[in-house]
Structure 1
């Protein structure tokens, strides 16, 4: 117990220290990132200031070059002096464009640069005017214009503005250099602290690694013991499930045998009742009055209904035990075949069936055939008087709970029913109408639900009385057939 307590305290203390170190590293990381950003911003500002000073100097040099060429030509009238003048003017246009793009961080510096550009343009115009006069053989007027001193005064004003802008930019650059030095010192401190805390963290991890190595053997033995106990429990549970599965298989076989014997033994008396009823009706019809003949007809109808009930009940019980393995079933072809099987009912009712493009699904083909015969026959049977049935079968694929599902809907324009009875219609032998109105045993939809559930899906109905019914069938795309014994029949 004391060793355990000591271990718990050690884990707690080192956990606290590790948390502190991690927090310090995160803080240092934040400071390092901020320092890098400050360095980057300061360097960008220095580059910008250098660009401004350089562009201003280039502008000044071009103005000087143009003025030198102008004065040389005016004094000597030698055309060679016009070459530097013209080159300077050509470059000056691009230089003005570059200078206009400058954005200084010094307050009101942008306005000063704009004013400088105006002075440059004025000076350029003055140079162009004098040269144009000289080229037009009006040297005296050109010299007189120069001697007025207007160009010299304009240059002085331009130079003064230019020097002031440069001084402000140089002062700003010196300030940025001071900031850069401070940021560099802070970066060195930040990275030093980060290195120290990282070293402490490595030491802490080394300590924990050593501590874990000592306790690993102990915990491994405990884990092996627990795994052995768990394996024994799993083996025992597996044995129980195997016994249960065998018992369930035996029970299903007995149920199947019972269903067969029961159906055979029950059908035999019914066959005799129907046979003797036919004989009475054939041989003694003249000896029976109207009431006796009615009794015989009722007896035969009851026997036939009982036979149908037994057959339907037997079929209902065999959905899971006599079902076939799943295969790829082309649903389009299957439903078209189903429509062909009930062609007479469709022609007599004038029914119209509209089909979507239907896919292949993994299913029991015979049971799918039975399912759609039930649904289409119901839609025809429960039609409105003097209204031709319209049955629409549609398909789509949806994702429900992160799983892909086939969604098939069968919609009709029949008599419909109250929505409160939506669950009742799937219960065996439950009817919403009298047998005199609509024939049937009342087990067709129960069989349909059993078929869909065997395919891992579900069926539901929505209806409005007098407007029709829609059945929605949902079957998983990747369904696996599991019969009542728990056996995967797809693996067979």
Structure 2
């Protein structure tokens, strides 16, 4: 099984396990929170109903104390019995306020408590009325009021209502105790399940960790095997590339030797052809008719073109193999020197050259000189009739793909060409015009491209027929590494 599939399966397994663990933790947390909330709610209800029962008991006791103080004063007419009676009345007022604030959870209990409060208030009025009669020396009326049984009936009704309310609260409290016991049992079960699931999770994690450890060892061994295979393939490929590089270097040396020998061997016959042509033209001109003289001129022109072509080919082949190491080159000085070399052509064509401030770049000085000689001489050669050549050389620096580049443009106002031929002009021997119109071997711009590419850059052309051409040269600012690589390659060759 491929390493990638094994890794994906391992990741998927851990995702599933993690999801299950998180799901179980969430369920346990939810059950625990629900149990805690149920316990809290039940306990709160128990506290509330206990408060209600306690307040009812206190109310009953205070009513009994008031009635006991009243009867003691009526029977003995001793003023000391009025003290507990009056204290009880004061407490009754506070107790009724507390009773009114009670919020029982028993259905209908609020109305029952309101009825109880009304009965207590009636009982208080009866007690106060009886004591006031006794204090006004109307003991007989007071005793008669007591003996009428009205106060006893009020108390019985009050007590019955109070006992009913209290009984309902006690029953509700017993129900809450039963609920609390159930919740406690459920809590034990819930926490027991949580403990069991947690234990199982720990055991599962330990199991999967052990399983994963074994899987990692297995995957690591397979990965090491794959790495060994890959390293062996890389070594084999490196060996093949080394052999290919050696073969290419040998081929390049042979090709260069062949180019040198071929150029030397080809140039020698051409020199003899030109020399014997000159002798025929000088010594036997009077013996030749017009047609013979034309043949000799054609022969000499062909020999000269052949010589130029051989020289250009040789130069084209040596751009990479015979280039000099890169140094800091002042382009301003290079182009100024180039303009001086082309001084005669510039004067004859009355050309004007506008030169911007140019930088110092890391380059091969002689090849830069050759580059701009070709571009400027082309701008002069391919000029429009009766139009003075205007050549504009500019410079800027741009950032392309996070790298800084020198951008040099050479623009002219010459004959131009159709844009569809923009790539064709950089191919060796590709001409857009007849040889009779413009002289040349058709290899100059191909040399320009080779020079720029050796410097790690690009050259392109944009043109409009009849309006001129603009050449754009792009050379990386940091091309030191390119120079080192090319120097090492040349040294190997």
Deviation at 1:7?
7.5
Task: Classify 1:343/1:204 alpha carbon distance in 2 versus 1 (closer, same or farther; 3 Å).
Answer: farther
SS of match in other structure, 1:481: helix
Whole-angstrom distance in 2 between the partners of 1:459 and 1:304: 30
State whether residues 245 and 486 of structure 1, in contact with CA within 8 Å, keep that contact through their aligned partners in structure 2. Answer: no
The Cα RMSD (Å) is 3.4
* Match in the other structure for 1:11: 14
Name the CA distance, whole Å, in 2 between partners of 1:217 and 1:355: 69
Summarize the alignment of residues 223-238 of structure 1 with structure 2, pairs less than 5 Å apart. Answer: 223-238=223-238
Give CA-to-partner distance per residue, 1:249-293, whole Å, 9 cap, x none: 000001001111111111111111000001011111111122221
Alignment of 1:254-269 (within 5 A): 254-269=254-269
- Name the structure 2 match of 1:325: 325
- Give 3-state SS (helix, strand or coil) of 1:217's partner: helix
Give the equivalent residue in structure 2 for 1:313.
Answer: 313
* Equivalent in the alignment of 2:463: 463
Partner of 2:369: 369
Structure 2 vs 1, CA of residues 279 and 370 (structure 1 numbering), >3 Å: closer, same or farther? same
Contact 1:308/1:441, CA 8 A, preserved across alignment: yes
Per-residue deviation, 1:17 = 3.3
* Cα separation, 2, equivalents of 1:460 and 1:14: 60
The aligned counterpart of 1:432 is: 432
Q: TM-score, normalising length from structure 2? A: 0.58
**Are the counterparts in 2 of residues 482 and 488 from structure 1 also a CA contact under 8 Å?**
no
Q: Which residue of 2 aligns with 1:411?
A: 411
Structure 1 Cα separation of the partners of residues 333 and 203 of structure 2: 71
Q: How does 1:59-458 map to 2 (within 5 A)?
A: 210-211=209-210, 212-458=212-458
- How far apart are 1:338 and its partner, in Å? 1.4
Distance change in 2, residues 1:232/1:7 (3 Å):
closer
Residues 408-438 of structure 1: CA deviation (Å, up to 9, x unaligned): 1100011111222222211211222222221
For the residues of structure 1 that align with 2:359 and 2:26, how far apart are their CA atoms?
Answer: 58
**Matched-pair contact (CA < 8 Å) for 2:326–2:483:** no
Q: Does the CA-based 8 Å contact 1:482-1:489 persist in structure 2?
A: no
Change (3 A) 1:7 1:485: closer
Report the Cα distance in structure 2 between the residues aligned to 1:399 and 1:21, rounded to whole angstroms.
Answer: 56
- Choose 1 or 2 for highest CA Rg: 2
Contact 1:418–1:464 (Cα < 8 Å) also in 2: yes
**Secondary structure of the equivalent of 1:415?**
coil
User: In 1, Cα distance between the equivalents of 2:230 and 2:25?
Assistant: 39
How far, CA to CA, are the matches of 1:22 and 1:395 in structure 2?
A: 68
Kindly state the Cα deviation for residue 225 of structure 1 after the two structures are TM-superposed: 2.5
SS of residue paired to 2:362? strand
CA distance in 2, matches of 1:301, 1:23: 97
Question: Who is 2:482 aligned against?
Answer: 481
Counterpart contact for 1:14–1:204, Cα < 8 Å: no
The answer to whether the 8 A contact 1:406-1:475 is kept is: yes
Which secondary structure state, in structure 2, belongs to the residue aligned with residue 387 of structure 1?
coil
Deviations 1:111-158 (A, max 9, x none): xxxxxxxxxxxxxxxxxxxxxxxxxxxxxxxxxxxxxxxxxxxxxxxx
Structure 1 CA distance, aligned partners of 2:365 and 2:272?
Answer: 36
Cα 1:402–1:205 shift into 2, 3 Å:
farther
- Post-superposition Cα deviations, 1:83-114, rounded to whole Å, max 9, x if no partner, equal xxxxxxxxxxxxxxxxxxxxxxxxxxxxxxxx
Pair 297,220 (structure 1): closer, same or farther in 2 beyond 3 Å: same
Displacement of 1:11 = 2.8
Within 1, Cα distance between the matches of 2:325 and 2:294?
48
Q: Secondary structure of the equivalent of 1:439?
A: coil
Deviations 1:14-45 (A, max 9, x none): 13236759999xxxxxxxxxxxxxxxxxxxxx
CA contact under 8 A between 1:483 and 1:489: conserved in structure 2?
Answer: no
Secondary structure, aligned partner of 2:399: strand
**2: distance between equivalents of 1:17 and 1:263?**
81
TM-score (norm. length: structure 1): 0.58
User: Partners of 2:205 and 2:353 in 1: how far apart?
Assistant: 76
Change in Cα spacing, 1:221 to 1:441, as seen in structure 2 (3 Å) is same
SS at match of 1:410: strand
Counterpart contact for 1:320–1:483, Cα < 8 Å: no
* 8 A contact 2:325–2:483 mirrored in 1: no
1:486 deviation in Å? 9.8
Match of 2:38 in 1: none
C-alpha separation in 2, matches of 1:286 and 1:17: 112
